[in-house]
Amino acid sequence: MLLNARWPQRILALPWGIILLIVAIGGFGLVVLYSAAGGSMRPWASAQGTRFAVLLLAMLMLSQVDARLWLRFAYPIYAIVLAALVGVEALGAISGGSQRWLDLGFIRLQPSEFMKLAIILALARFYHYLPRGYVGRLAGMWPPLAMIAVPAALVMLQPDLGTALMIVAGGLSVMFLGGLPLRWIFGPGAALVAALPVVFNLLHDYQKRRVLIFLDPESDPLGSGYHITQSKIAIGSGGLTGKGFLQGTQSHLEYLPEQHTDFVFATMAEEWGLVGGALLLLAFGIVLNWGLRVAMRAETMFVRLVAGGLSMTLFFYVLINVAMVMGLAPVVGIPLPLVSWGGSAMMTVLILMGILLGMNRQKREPLE
C-alpha cells in the first residue's frame, strides 16, 4: 500500500495546519505584491510566487533532514557562513564599497542572512554539550558571546544594522533559553542601556540620523522621516477594513517608499485595514506559538534550543519590521517574512521553517 510506504507516511506526519498557514501568509503576500504593482503580476508577484513555490519545496525537503545531522554539522555550517562573511567583507573592502553578497552567477547570496540561522544552530550545539554547571561560569559564557560578537561585528561593518541586530537578538535568545543565570542577563542588560550613548556614537551618520528622526519623524518630513510619516499615513488611513483591494493611494501613487519590500505591511494595511493587519499578526502568532511548543515538548537540549531560537528569530523579524513600519522602532532594513518582495529573506525564513519542521518530527527521539 502506498500509504504505508515510508515516504508518504513521513510526509503525512507533517503538521499540515502550520504548513498551510505558511502558504496562506505567502499567498496573501503575493496578493499584496500584485496590488502594489498597480494590479499586475509583474514585476513582483509572479517572480515572488515562483520563488515561493520552489522554496516551499525546499522547506519540505529540509523538514526530512535529521536533527542529528543538524547537530553534527552545526559548527561546520557556522564556520562556512562566517568565512563567507569575512570573504564579502574583504571583497567589499577591495572594491571600495559596501558589499553584502556573494555573486554566484545565478543567485546572489547574502552570507549575513544565513548567519541568522547558523548562529542558532551553533549556539544550540554548544549548550547541548556544555555541562550544566558551566552555564553560569566564565568558561561557559565567553565562547557563545564570541560566536555572537564576531559575525555581528562583521555585519555591522557592512554596514547592516538590522541584520546585526537580528544575529545578536537570536544568539542572546538561545543563551537565555540555554539557562544563563538571570544576573548575567539583567546586569549586562542594564550596562547595555547605560552604554547606549556610546553605541549611538559608533553608528554611521545615516544610522544616527535614522534614530534621531525615529524619535521625531516630523523634523524631517521630506527626508528620512518621510518613510515613517508616509507609512503611518498609509496604515492610519486604512481604518478598520481598509480602502479595498487595489484601492490604496499611498502605495499606488508612490507616496509610500519601498512599498513592496520593507514597508509592505503598510501597503497591506492601507488596503486591508486593521482587520487584515490583525489577521496577519495572528497568523504569525500561531506559527510562533507552534514553534515554542515544539521547543517545550522536545526531549533534547539541542532540539529545544534550535526550535526556541528559530522561533525567536522569526519573532524578531516580524516584531522589528512591523514596529518600524508603525513608527515604534527606527527604520532598519528588516523585511516582513514571507510577504516582503525579495529572495534572500524568503529563503532564510523557509529554511528556518524547514529546520523547525524537522525538529518537530524528532522532538521525541533521542539524538544519540
Partner 1 sequence: MAGDAEAKRTFTRRALFLGGVQVAAGVLLTGRMAWLALAENEKYALASEANRVDLRLIPPRRGWIVDAAGLPLAENRPAYGVELIPALAGDIEAALATIGAIVPLAAEDRARINTDIAARPKSVPVSVATDIGWEAYAALNLRLADMAGLQPVRSFVRSYPQGSAFGHVLGYVGPPTAEQFRESRDALLLFPGFRIGKDGVEKALEPVLRGEAGARRVEVNARGRIIRDLDTRPDTPGKAVRLTLDRGLQAHAAARVGDGSASIVVIDCQTGDIKCLLSNPAFDPNVFSNRIPSALWKALQASDHKPLLNKSLQGLYVPGSTYKPVTALAALGAGVPPSDSVVCNGRYRMGSNTWHCHGRHGVVDMRRAIAKSCNVYFYTMARRIGNDAVAAMARTMGLGQRFELPMPSQRRGTIPDEAWKLQRFGKPWTAAETLNSCIGQGDVQVNPLQLAVMTARLASGMMVLPRLLADAPAVAFEPLPLPADQLAVVRQGMFDVVNGPGGTARASRLRLADVAMGGKTGTAQVRRITAAERRRGVIRNEALPWKLRDHALFIGFAPADAPRYAISVVAEHGGSGAGAAAPLARDVLTFLFDRERAEKDLAATITERERKARAAARAAEAAAAAAAATSAAPDDDEDRAGGPG
Give residues 290-349 in contact with partner 1 (rule: CB under 8 A). 292, 295-296, 301, 304, 308, 312, 315, 319, 322-323, 326, 328
Closest contact distance (angstroms) between CB of 251 and partner 1 is 10
**Pick from 238, 337, 343, 354: which binds partner 1 (CB under 8 A)?**
238
Minimum CB separation of residue 107 from partner 1 in Å reads 31
Query: Is the Cβ of residue 85 or residue 305 nearer to partner 1 in the bound state?
Result: 305
Cell triple for residue 212?
Answer: 534621531
Please tell me whether residue 173 binds partner 1 under the rule CB under 8 A. Answer: yes
Q: Show the site string, 26-65: x = touches partner 1 by CB under 8 A, - = not.
A: ----------------------------------------
The contact mask relative to partner 1 for 264-283 (x = CB under 8 A, - = no) is -----x---xx--xx--xx-
Q: How far apart are CA 327 and CA 348, in angstroms?
A: 25
- Of all helices (H) and strands (E), which one includes residue 109? strand 108-109
One residue of 31, 91, 233, 367 binding partner 1 per CB under 8 A: 233
Say if residue 16 is exposed, middle or buried (CB neighbours under 10 Å; 0-12, 13-18, 19+). exposed
CA dist., res. 55 & res. 300, Å (int): 28
Angle at 130 between CA 182 and CA 62, to 5 degrees: 100
- 170 or 354, CB closer to partner 1? 170
The span from the CA of 213 to the CA of 234, in Å, is 19
Task: Check if the beta carbon of residue 333 is closer than 8 Å to that of residue 38.
Answer: no
State how far the Cα of 24 lies from the Cα of 208, in Å rounded to an integer: 37
> Kindly report the CA angle at 201 between 118 and 216, in degrees rounded to 5?
95
Residues near partner 1 (CB under 8 A) are: 132, 173, 176-177, 179, 222, 230, 232-240, 249-250, 253-255, 269, 273-274, 277-278, 281-282, 285, 288-289, 292, 295-296, 301, 304, 308, 312, 315, 319, 322-323, 326, 328
